[in-house]
Structure 1
Amino acid sequence: MTRIAFHLAPALMLVYGVVRLIDGRDGQHGPGPAWTVGHLIFLGSLLLYGGVIAGLYDRVRAAHRVTAGVTAAVAAFGLVTFVRVAVVDIVVGLQAANPAEKSVLADRYADAPAVLPQAVYEIGPVFFMLGLLALLVQFAIVTPGRKAVAALSPVLVVLGFVAITLDLDLLPAGAALIWIALALVTREPSPSSPARRRAHAAA
């Protein structure tokens, strides 16, 4: 299931990006069926990224248990705040009758649940991006052999996140870059896997 998440999480993100483009053809994004369906797909993508974080942690923890644990925790925290964003957007989209009401409801839910300051919710998703990137860098460091291939993953993720940050209309392209990056990871045996240990023994 974790291996599937490496492909399905960015794939669903790409689909969400396409749905978002369709939703915005009239110059407005939501509310409506496209908004709700798109954000449900996005929520599924985010939940699957939990499997990506777990899979990357499993691949690097043997070499850097403490660092990997801290990085995975940062990424997981950011992912939780990202999930909150998707859930709030779904709730707002279901309740709002028009874009103006959607904006009002979004402001109303800006600090919900009132557990953390609103500023934390706003910057929380950045921790997911940084944590995921840091895990990929650690994976590149601990992966012997095909260093160039392993090092390409964090580069592609950076390009993907930059594209998405610059313009959300580039979400499909950014998601495609992230998908390629994670697909490269699945092609590399875990540094602690039996296949990797046998390769080292043979050498």
Structure 2
Amino acid sequence: MSNTPWRRTAFTAGPLCMTAYGLIRLTDGEHGPGLAWSLGHLAFLTGVLCFVPVLLGMRRAAVRGRGPAGRGFAAAGAVIGLLGAAAVVAQAAIDLVAGFLSEDREAMREIFERVKSHAGVEPVVYGVGPLLFYVGLLLLMAQLAALRRIAAWRPAAVVAGIVATGISLDLLPLAGLLFLVAFAPLGRRLDRPDRPPVPVSPDPGPLRAR
């Protein structure tokens, strides 16, 4: 796999942007509209977009030198994660537009209700769709851990981050930091080729006296 520097940076930038979104959100008592709402969602949108090369980078690392089954599993994880990322991007874009067009929280709520009234929008953009993003990340992280390309505690850190967001959105900064610990060093590490096995010399047997 040949990662360009910006792809390596994405492994750190993505979690940092998610952490920034969580911190900005804590300062926004009304949760929109306003500057904090817009800045926070821009940070969140940037973070999710950074995870696109992360997903692709992990897929490349997982398929290198593997059989059809391994390549298929990695491709499935990447596709699931990218579909989820698309849903999250759509949600963030809707939130940004609603915040820009609204004067208060009530006006935002009306916009959200109109958007969700369209068939399929709520489950795809606000329900199952965003969950696929985390499922894809976990599948690829688990595969890399099983292949011993990464330590087993890294997928566990991702799970802890997901659980934190499920408990409360106020824990988003903690979730972002857990993602940072799990992903930050991987951009360069996954770029390294697998080390070939060290050849073992045949046993020469006992030396004969001359």
Provide the TM-score with structure 1 as the length reference: 0.87
Tell me which residue corresponds to 1:108.
Answer: 114
- Give matches, 1:156-167, under 5 Å: 156-167=157-168
Amino acid at match of 2:22: G
Report whether the alignment pairs 1:71 with 2:71: no
CA distance in 2, matches of 1:184, 1:160: 17
CA distance in 2, matches of 1:183, 1:202: 33
CA distance in 2, matches of 1:117, 1:19: 27
Q: Over alpha carbons, which structure has the higher Rg?
A: 2
Is the 1:2–1:54 Cα contact (8 Å) retained in structure 2? no
Give 5+ residue unaligned stretches, structure 1: none
Give the C-alpha shift of residue 82 in structure 1: 0.5
- Runs of 4 or more off by more than 6 Å in structure 1? none
Change (3 A) 1:202 1:186: farther
Which structure's residues are more often helix, by fraction? Answer: 1
Change (3 A) 1:35 1:189: closer
RMSD, aligned α-carbons: 1.8
Tell me which residue corresponds to 1:86.
Answer: 92
Tell me which residue corresponds to 2:195.
Answer: 197
Give the C-alpha shift of residue 111 in structure 1: 5.5
Tell me which residue corresponds to 1:30.
Answer: 32
Amino acid at match of 2:114: R
CA distance in 2, matches of 1:189, 1:174: 23
Tell me which residue corresponds to 1:21.
Answer: 26
CA distance in 2, matches of 1:137, 1:2: 21
Provide the TM-score with structure 2 as the length reference: 0.84
Give the C-alpha shift of residue 142 in structure 1: 1.2
CA distance in 1, matches of 2:199, 2:115: 58
Amino acid at match of 1:120: V
The number of residues matched between the two structures is: 190
Tell me which residue corresponds to 2:55.
Answer: 53
- From 115, 118, 126, the equivalent of 2:131 is 126
- Other structure's SS at 1:109 match: helix
Give 5+ residue unaligned stretches, structure 2: 1-5, 201-210
CA offset digits 1:14-64 (Å, max 9, x no partner):
01111100112xxx1000111011111111111101011011111101221
- Other structure's SS at 1:197 match: coil
- Give matches, 1:176-191, under 5 Å: 176-186=177-187, 188-189=189-190
Give the C-alpha shift of residue 71 in structure 1: 1.1
CA distance in 1, matches of 2:60, 2:143: 11
Report whether the alignment pairs 1:141 with 2:142: no
CA offset digits 1:143-168 (Å, max 9, x no partner):
26xxxx61111100000010011100
Change (3 A) 1:23 1:188: same
Higher RCO (CA < 8 A, seq sep 6+): 2
CA offset digits 1:80-101 (Å, max 9, x no partner):
0000000000000001111111
- Other structure's SS at 1:100 match: helix
